[in-house]
Structure 1
């Protein structure tokens, strides 16, 4: 396959590289601020970058999701460390959720490998819009329960978060933060714990998208399975550098502003991705 980069000039390559570096910086800050691993920014941006490069419709969303998951490993680790120092990571809950999350991620990657790219785009857009409306319009007193569930219900929730997050290429905060707040869980502690959940999703999710994409046709240059190494190399450094600053901002912002920032990011990205899936 002839490289798609061969058809664009040096100026376009430089602009592409610059856009990916800026994307990484924004994604890293968002990872620390909202505990989402940056995927809520990375996936739609990579999707449109690959569209401009003429990457095949059948694989570009898969590569965007797989590449995003690979960056989440490092950015979530950085964010988790910063939140850990502030005592905002719920270790007992993390231990209870870990196995179910990983099993959910495995199921999500297997399902993602079997569906078309437009289906993954629709999943991303739909779930992001639903969560954005919850975060933007729900009232502080709205609760499902006064505390998170235990037992089978807790495990089902954790597995569902892992599965859908893997299919969306996000770190888990998109789903775990609003879920935990519905169970009367403090928002800052939810964000810190979500950063750790992102790491649990990123590692098996990346492995799954690499394996699932081996042998796939019409992948963009420098791809290892459904993970694009060029995108990873350009996004990762700035993501890691900005994640701690986002975590500091999270603890400085009042709860209302943090929820609003979360809702705005989800609404804008979800709307664009859903529109793309509908053609």
Structure 2
């Protein structure tokens, strides 16, 4: 039996998504995170209201988030690159391992239970929040980023976990680069380039991963999510993208105006809050 939805609720939801686009673009420029860390929790509430089944709701949020990140990440990267803040040497080393990790994450997404996406999101977000809020300058893995296999392994992990979380990779690369003594501003700028590498193949991977869901829930997917491609909602993407493109350069300007410690603390507090939403969801089952 098809699920019915209150039209007024969906209209309110559309306006909320447009505003979220503005905020996600700003955060993409500010933190180098691609905006996914805010998009995934808000899209989750949106799809819950729309009646999307629980077992496909979280991967649909992740896939849609990755698609939305694409233009924002490109704009954010160009703004940071214009300031000369992106470490292109890191990008060259991580490019191939990250893409391999994205492919692996897309395959996992096709078969993984819905709870896995939430657990990964919370574990990584809260770990990063603790590091950013409580860390001291002497908390380091080393004086500079490693060379050889370890560096490539980091790239693989960044690509894999970012794809399962629906983020642009900034969460991990910011953490890694600051643990190896890189300035937070350089970490943020370099992360904006990683978001481009992750979001494009990641979105395509979730299109592939979501085809079985469309077959399982044809009525719901057609009624509540018209024009969805696998685990990517095109309507959600269209509503969020425009303002995110406009506000990304503003976030870049604010990031470069903030002090190192202020930027780290702000990022950490934000991650703690969004991780808490999915802890509630895991406990309540909704």
TM-score, structure 1 normalization? 0.96
Residue 125 (structure 1) shift: 1.3
1:264 matched to 2:269: yes
CA distance in 2, matches of 1:145, 1:197: 22
For this pair of structures, how many residues does the alignment match?
276
197, 222, 225: which one pairs with 1:221?
Answer: 225
Counterparts in 2 of 1:23-172, with a 5 A limit? 23-172=20-169
Residue 7 (structure 1) shift: 2.6
1:250 matched to 2:255: yes
CA distance in 2, matches of 1:215, 1:133: 37
Confirm or deny: 8 A CA contact 2:110 2:209 kept in the other structure. yes
Confirm or deny: 8 A CA contact 1:119 1:277 kept in the other structure. no
Confirm or deny: 8 A CA contact 1:126 1:274 kept in the other structure. no
In structure 1, list runs of 5 or more residues that go unmatched.
none
Residue 101 (structure 1) shift: 0.4
Residue 100 (structure 1) shift: 0.3
CA distance in 2, matches of 1:274, 1:105: 25
Residue 215 (structure 1) shift: 3.6
CA distance in 2, matches of 1:7, 1:112: 27
Confirm or deny: 8 A CA contact 1:97 1:155 kept in the other structure. yes
Match of 1:7 in 2: 5
1:237 matched to 2:235: no
CA distance in 2, matches of 1:225, 1:112: 11
CA distance in 2, matches of 1:89, 1:277: 37
Deviations 1:193-233 (A, max 9, x none): 00000110001100100011114233341211000011000
CA distance in 2, matches of 1:111, 1:12: 33
CA distance in 1, matches of 2:209, 2:185: 35
CA distance in 2, matches of 1:232, 1:190: 27
Residue 15 (structure 1) shift: 0.8
CA distance in 2, matches of 1:235, 1:141: 40
Deviations 1:30-82 (A, max 9, x none): 00000000000000110111112221011110100000000111111010000
CA RMSD after TM alignment: 1.2
CA distance in 2, matches of 1:262, 1:241: 21
CA distance in 1, matches of 2:107, 2:5: 34
Confirm or deny: 8 A CA contact 2:5 2:50 kept in the other structure. no
CA distance in 2, matches of 1:202, 1:7: 31
TM-score, structure 2 normalization? 0.94
In structure 2, list runs of 5 or more residues that go unmatched.
none
Residue 265 (structure 1) shift: 1.2
Residue aligned with 1:97, SS? helix
